[in-house]
Amino acid sequence: MPYFDAASSAPLHPVARQALQASLDEGWADPSRLYREGRRARLLLDAAREAAAEAVGCRPDELVFTPSGTRAVHLGVSGALAGRRRVGRHVVVSAVEHSSVLHAAGDTATEVPVDRAGRVDPAAYAAALREDTALACLQSANHEVGTEQPVDRVAEACRAAGVPLLVDAAQSLAWGPVGGDWSLLAASAHKWGGPAGAGLLVVRKGVRFAPQEPADERESGRAAGFENLPAIVAAAASLRAVRAEAAEEAVRLRALVDRIRARVPELVPDVEVVGDAVHRLPHLVTFSCLYVDGETLLHELDRQGFSVSSGSSCTSSTLTPSHVLRAMGVLSEGNVRVSLPLGTTGEDVDRFLEVLPSVVSAVRERLGAPTAAQSPGQGASLVVDALGKRCPIPVIELAKVIGDVPLGGTVTVLSDDEAARLDIPAWCVMRDQEYVGEEAAERGTAYVVRRLV
């Protein structure tokens, strides 16, 4: 069964499995103790730190291990803000950061917008920096659409402004070190084939940083508590292993992803491939299918043997679209993220492309999606009541009737689904119609679309 969700968690690398087993036998003691078992554990910990630091491109004494990537982000943000509290509390982030970064930054952070490909403009990012900016945050590559960010140029702007830059490198670290003059970096081992329960935080020398962990008698500068040494050793070993394979695998997986990017729009009508086509991770591609319920689509693909993920509102308990897709202004319904793990074969990708069209077609038929055979009518304007109906029904109802108004006529969709605010304008872009805007309604919101073609 092909697993195509490596961006959520990569399968455990064989080297990680071997290192985990070995360190369970040798690294169970407290590395702060001076007896032989403690010294043996300390040697394992130091060796892991040196290996991880080499992969990151930092000094070993700049790197600490944490219980997770999320914990690394929270420690990095809180420590940097505490260290620069005299400057202020202002934080600058991109609008597509991981939720852990956005939550740590707080509600008063300035979000720098991205373009439709999910990429920030370095000039716009630089303009958001202020005198009271204590910290800036920018991911190296996006976790949902794979777009790589111009970290080097943003880091240069931050350095000129005297603002430290924290980089969330969770998705990219397996493929190579993060370039640019950044100040802090966070990552998570299970993203590159290490075990869950291990992350890392790097704080460069010279960065004002005040750890906010409760003080204890153990070594300062590391995460409080007893380290999960087997997980740390396995994380460092697997990072070194995947780096050794990265150059060759990046070329191979990029070709497979290029095949998906090119073939999906040819095989499935009304599909938008999202994310930057050039500046992107080699193993990840995301596309959205009109008139498809994302949750149903994922279940049907799972029944066909493919594990993928989605940023559609239909697959979340909040019933709101992914903040990443919202910031990009792209279609959220029927959203599918395919992220290929190391070793994915061309045969697996070909079978996915063979299965996908029939799965999408079956879901659309079940939802009553419009077809090309439906004939246009002659009404001057129409109102579609989609209140109480969730994605993708409001867009399906709009598509069914847009041909029933003459050119220049309008369709007003009444909806109380938050996803409609994103998906109706995105549908207009895809279908060359004019999105007039939204109006207040007695219930929900009225979205007005003018027929142009």
Buried-exposed string 95-131: b where 16+ CB fall within 10 A, e elsewhere: bbbbebbbebbeeebbbbebeebbbbebeebbebbee
| CA distances (Å), origin 194, targets 11, 139, 225, 238, 399 | 8, 20, 21, 6, 46
CB neighbour list of residue 289: distance below 8 Å, 6 or more residues apart: 268, 270, 271, 297, 333, 334, 335, 336, 360
Tell me the residue length of the chain. 453
Q: Give the Cα separation of 358 and 267 in Å (integer).
A: 10
Beta carbons within 8 Å of 317's beta carbon, 6+ residues apart: none
Single-letter amino acid code for the residue at 143: H
CA–CA gap between residue 328 and residue 324 (Å, rounded)? 6
Q: Which of 58, 137, 289, 314 is catalytic?
A: 314
| Spatial CA neighbour of 287 closest among 215, 217, 352, 232 | 352
Angle between helices 14-26 and 229-267 (to 10 degrees): 170
Check residue 307 and report its DSSP letter: B
391 is catalytic: no
Q: For residue 384, what are the contacts with CB-CB under 8 A and spacing of at least 6? A: 394, 397, 398, 401, 411, 412, 413, 414
Q: In angstroms, rounded to a whole number, what is the distance separating the alpha carbons of residues 42 and 419?
A: 51
User: Residue 283 has what DSSP assignment?
Assistant: T
Contact, 336 vs 288, CB < 8 A?
A: yes
Cα separation, 264 vs 251, in Å, equals: 20
3-state helix, strand, coil in the chain (%, to 5): 40, 20, 40
Active site residue ranges: 314
